[in-house]
Amino acid sequence: YQRRVHGDPWHHYLPPEEWKLVLLDSLFTLVPSGKNQECFRLWEALEAGSIPIVANRIQPSCGDSWVPFREPGSQVVFLDDWQELPAYFASVTATNTSTAAALSHQTRLVEWYADFKHRHYTKLLTLLVQKFKAKGGK
């Protein structure tokens, strides 16, 4: 989907509300690396309940920022290379059974991400409370 801005064929965008609707209606979202491995597209996809698909590349300057998304139960799809994408989509859409499996995958993603956020929130809150108490807080 593209919209021209002021007649400029090189300036394409979706307004935020339209982009949000596209994500909410998407079973999958491609998450290319930007300056960092994991970028805002990952978080947008997770928040929308759209299965993120990423290329499993490690940028030496970042280390492996994918570690939290490779934990057991994670529903993020990792491809060794973007060249694998057509075969992946072919396998997901080959039959009604595979379509049902993809929808089940999406349900597991939503459940996993809710648990992921809760665990990380709890971990951060515990750390903050410990640091506050260590500094003489009540």
Give 113-135 pLDDT, tens digit per residue.
Answer: 999 999 999 999 999 999 888 88
Is the pLDDT reported for residue 6 higher than 60?
no
Whole-prediction pTM: 0.81
Range 69-75, long-range pairs (CB < 8 A, 24+ positions): 69/38, 69/42, 73/108, 73/112, 73/115, 74/112, 74/116, 75/51, 75/105, 75/106, 75/108, 75/109, 75/112, 75/113
Give 15-64 pLDDT, tens digit per residue.
Answer: 888 889 999 999 999 998 877 777 889 999 999 999 999 988 766 666 77
